[in-house]
Structure 1
Amino acid sequence: MSLVSIQAPGAVVMIRPQRFHPNPETAADNAFQRADAAENLGARAALAAAARDEVTGAAAALEAAGVRVHVFDDHGEHHTPDSVFPNNWFSTHAGGHVALYPMHCPNRRRERRMDVVEMLKAQYRVQDVIDYSGLEYDGVFLEGTGAMVLDHVDRVAYTARSRRADPVALERFCTHFNFEPMCFDTSDAAGRAVYHTNVMMSVATEFAMVGLDLILDVARRAEVRRRLQESGRIVIALDHAQIANFAGNALELSGADGRVLVLSERAAASLTHQQRALIERSARLLPLRVPTIEMAGGSVRCMLAGIHLARRSSASTA
């Protein structure tokens, strides 16, 4: 398998919500979230319609770039306001492996969908499904590639410590999937810990974008930079304002004409000319318009569950 396909998948799963709204159960530790976004039913309906349209538009833009997109609709029967962020409840890995994760908030546990897993089995070569969700009963949580930013090449799981990234679950994942955990404590400009690592860090094939200043321990901060540089990547440091604008919440994908870095329009606008030039040495920037979805405290990377699986030769184009 080439380096591109290891770190930058060519296919993703997206969930199109019908009843989207910022989740009150996650507001306590998600500093990016707008809790006041929909104060009445009329505003909430408009918000849901806008979010639905943003997913449809984002999927179309990805498909135009040559990324294969599997879109599933969530009609909200199970009261899953954060279903638009599937990367938290499952991940896929080269060799045919799928992981299901324990979620911190009860209403997010209902986001897990077996029809998504069955689609993966039907269209891709899945060898096994490792289910960590039972750890929820022990109060142990690990919210997928939100909690962990994975270097699929050097096998490092960069993880900001939080109640959504329990060290017990992290150790089990790293043992099963052959990753080295690299954990660190964080603090944003207001002194709050980062709730998910993927809002402050993105690891691409030839570069990494990371809010180094959010890592509290100076020695650990230097070690994270060193590890990324030793992997051959250019390290692009993001400041606090860029992190607040979701610049760290980006994902590199493989398109028809090479790699693309997908991120929100807001995130792209926060980048400097020099940062954009460094990124564009190896990946084309693909900004997506998702301002409504960002009210829930996540952005483009959170919306995309990358598929790191070999496709079956008989798979349909669905």
Structure 2
Amino acid sequence: MQITNTILMIRPVRFRMNEQTSVNNYFMEDIDIKNNTINEKAQFEFDTFVSVLKGKGVNVIVVNDTQEPDTPDSIFPNNWVSFHSDGTVGLYPMFAENRRSERREDILDILEKEGFVIKSVMDYTSAEAENLFLEGTGSILMDRVNQKAYCALSDRANEALFIEFCEDFDCFPVIFTANQSVDGKRLPIYHTNVMMALGENFSIICLDTIDDKKERKNVVDHLKRDGKEIIKITEEQMHRFAGNMLQVLGAENKRYLVMSSAAFHSLEPDQIKAIENHCEILHSSLDTIETCGGGSARCMMAEVFLPKK
């Protein structure tokens, strides 16, 4: 199964621009309002987003963040944890030191109380001691049906760790570098899931970020071979988070593609039509979260594929 109807989301309590992640997340912008106001706006956007998902029958498990330790990016849980259909939980090494405190064992307990079965934990976090990082499904895009994983290498996505992940989870690695223009230079994009999204039968991707022609062709070949329609977005659209989308299941197994309103409004009519040939679009305003956090709808949702009791 490529998509799920169960999503884990973390409601923020101290959300703000994280000074430790801004060094290589070029999607973040500083805004001149107080942190408590930023957090209130983020909570409003979060709650509205959850209501939109639940309104379509998506099973959203909301866990409140804690005041301590200070974790400004806790709203993006997909970077530290992944949940797999064989009962495995993946725990991942994080680039920013203050993001490492987001990993909470009690969240696994909450899922077990909800009836999910956890059989084993695959823990990669010891790599932090070597300054090697692989930030969960931010760095890794899994094609679960075709047993492949896509990864754009960066400071937050180490090649050796990614290959280790692919060996552990028995999937074929598709590796490339994706760049964006920053002050006239081409610099690595911090996470794969801001330039690419994988649905059941389609992929939304900013191919212009893959500067190496061979790497670009390889990615395209894999997607086409697996029957994915390729829906291209521009770098400008990517900066509006048009690559940061997730396909989910709602009531009666209806398919939805979830994105922010900024992402939706950046799309051209032909792109919207191409998506709607596969599923309905759901969007919600995440302007504060996107601006201060440098992440969007996909980053906020940790998919739960764990088996149930």
The TM-score with structure 1 as length reference comes to: 0.93
Q: Provide Cα deviations, 1:194-215, integer angstroms capped at 9, x if missing partner.
A: 0000000000011100011100
Paired with 1:189 and 1:284, the residues of 2 have a C-alpha distance of 32
Q: Provide Cα deviations, 1:45-100, integer angstroms capped at 9, x if missing partner.
A: 11100111111111111111111011111133111000000000000111111100
Paired with 2:147 and 2:244, the residues of 1 have a C-alpha distance of 20
Match of 1:198 in 2: 193
Q: How far off is 1:138 after superposition? A: 1.7
Of all paired residues, the percent bearing the same amino acid is: 38
Q: How far off is 1:125 after superposition? A: 1.9
Match of 2:174 in 1: 182
- Give secondary structure in 2 for the equivalent of 1:26: coil
> Aligned pair 1:14/2:9, yes or no?
yes
Specify which of 37, 43, 52 is matched with residue 61 of structure 1.
52
Return structure 1 stretches of 4+ with deviation > 6 angstroms.
none
Specify which of 155, 164, 167 is matched with residue 156 of structure 2.
164
Q: How far off is 1:310 after superposition? A: 2.0
- Give secondary structure in 2 for the equivalent of 1:188: strand
Paired with 1:75 and 1:94, the residues of 2 have a C-alpha distance of 28
Q: Provide Cα deviations, 1:260-315, integer angstroms capped at 9, x if missing partner.
A: 00000000111111111111112110001111110210000000000112223xxx
Match of 1:286 in 2: 282
Q: Determine if contact 1:17/1:76 at 8 Å carries over to the other structure.
A: no
Q: How far off is 1:38 after superposition? A: 4.5
Q: How far off is 1:139 after superposition? A: 1.4
Match of 1:49 in 2: 40
Look up the equivalent residue of 1:235 and give its one-letter code.
I
Specify which of 293, 297, 304 is matched with residue 294 of structure 2.
297
Match of 1:109 in 2: 100
- Give secondary structure in 1 for the equivalent of 2:122: strand
Match of 1:315 in 2: none
> Aligned pair 1:269/2:260, yes or no?
no
Q: Map 1:222-233 to 2 at 5 A.
A: 222-233=217-228
> Aligned pair 1:308/2:305, yes or no?
yes
Paired with 2:247 and 2:267, the residues of 1 have a C-alpha distance of 16
Paired positions, count: 303
Q: Provide Cα deviations, 1:2-40, integer angstroms capped at 9, x if missing partner.
A: xxxx11111000011111001000111101011x2256x
Q: How far off is 1:219 after superposition? A: 1.4
Look up the equivalent residue of 2:134 and give its one-letter code.
L
Look up the equivalent residue of 2:243 and give its one-letter code.
G
Q: Structure 2: state its 5+ residue gaps.
A: none
- Give secondary structure in 1 for the equivalent of 2:160: helix
Aligned-residue CA RMSD (Å):
1.1
Paired with 1:180 and 1:302, the residues of 2 have a C-alpha distance of 23
The TM-score with structure 2 as length reference comes to: 0.95
Match of 2:90 in 1: 99
